[in-house]
């Protein structure tokens, strides 16, 4: 699994057939699932994200987790995180998991984030065309890959 994590002041995802979901200050997580991913990847990644110290403490130092800062979380599926641009100019998405693999893992990831953090967690809609609005706070943007464990 690959994630792009952005510390946000606020974020909103909308889709014409689905409506919109919003969060205040917290994390926007773009999640890419690949065929080789499983529940172990989810457990490791959710643990890492929930304890990631990227929120300011009283002295303005990035020293608090999203849980310690009582933030909110939004998770959006994004298969394009596994794009390969090695050959030509049209990205290949061959590493991205097919829906029958990706959907259950995406849904499990969201549930595990809720369980681990106890925070408000919103999400997008798997496979839907979505518009995402966000205010990146900092800016703070971090990429984590569960296979590389970094």
The tens digit of pLDDT for each residue in 37-56 reads 999 999 999 999 999 999 99
pLDDT exceeds cutoff 90 at 98: yes
pLDDT score at 15: 96
**Which domains does the chain show, CATH number per domain?**
2-145 (3.50.80.10)
Q: Any catalytic annotation for residue 78?
A: yes
Mean pLDDT confidence for 47-71: 97
150 pLDDT tier (thresholds 50, 70, 90): confident
Which of these is catalytic: 6, 55, 79, 117? 79
Q: Any catalytic annotation for residue 109?
A: no
pLDDT exceeds cutoff 80 at 100: yes
pLDDT exceeds cutoff 80 at 61: yes
| Interatomic CA distance for residues 83 and 35, integer angstroms | 13
- Rounded to two decimals, the pTM is 0.95
Mean pLDDT confidence for 71-100: 93
Average pLDDT over the chain reads 96
Q: Any catalytic annotation for residue 80?
A: yes
Which of these is catalytic: 6, 55, 78, 109? 78
H/E run at residue 143: strand 131-145
pLDDT score at 2: 96
Higher pLDDT, 120 or 147: 120
Q: Report the largest interatomic distance among the alpha carbons of the chain, rounded to a whole angstrom.
A: 49
Which of these is catalytic: 80, 115, 131, 141? 80
- Burial code of 1-36, b = ≥16 C-beta within 10 A, e = fewer? bbbbbbbbebbbbeeeeeeebebebbbbbbbbbbee
């Amino acid at each position: 699994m690959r994630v792009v994590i952005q510390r946000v002041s606020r974020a909103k995802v909308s889709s014409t057939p689905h409506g919109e979901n919003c969060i205040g200050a917290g994390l926007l997580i773009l999640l890419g699932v690949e065929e080789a991913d499983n529940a172990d990847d989810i457990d490791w990644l959710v643990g890492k994200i929930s304890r990631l110290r990227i929120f300011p403490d009283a002295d303005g130092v990035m020293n608090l987790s999203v849980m310690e800062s009582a933030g909110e979380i939004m998770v959006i599926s994004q298969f394009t995180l596994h794009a390969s641009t090695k050959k030509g100019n049209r990205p290949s998405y061959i590493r991205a998991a097919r829906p029958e693999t990706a959907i259950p893992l995406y849904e499990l990831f969201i549930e595990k984030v809720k369980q681990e953090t106890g925070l408000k967690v919103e999400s997008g809609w798997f496979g839907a065309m979505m518009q995402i609005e966000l205010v990146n706070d900092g800016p703070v943007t971090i990429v984590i890959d569960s296979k590389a464990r970094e």
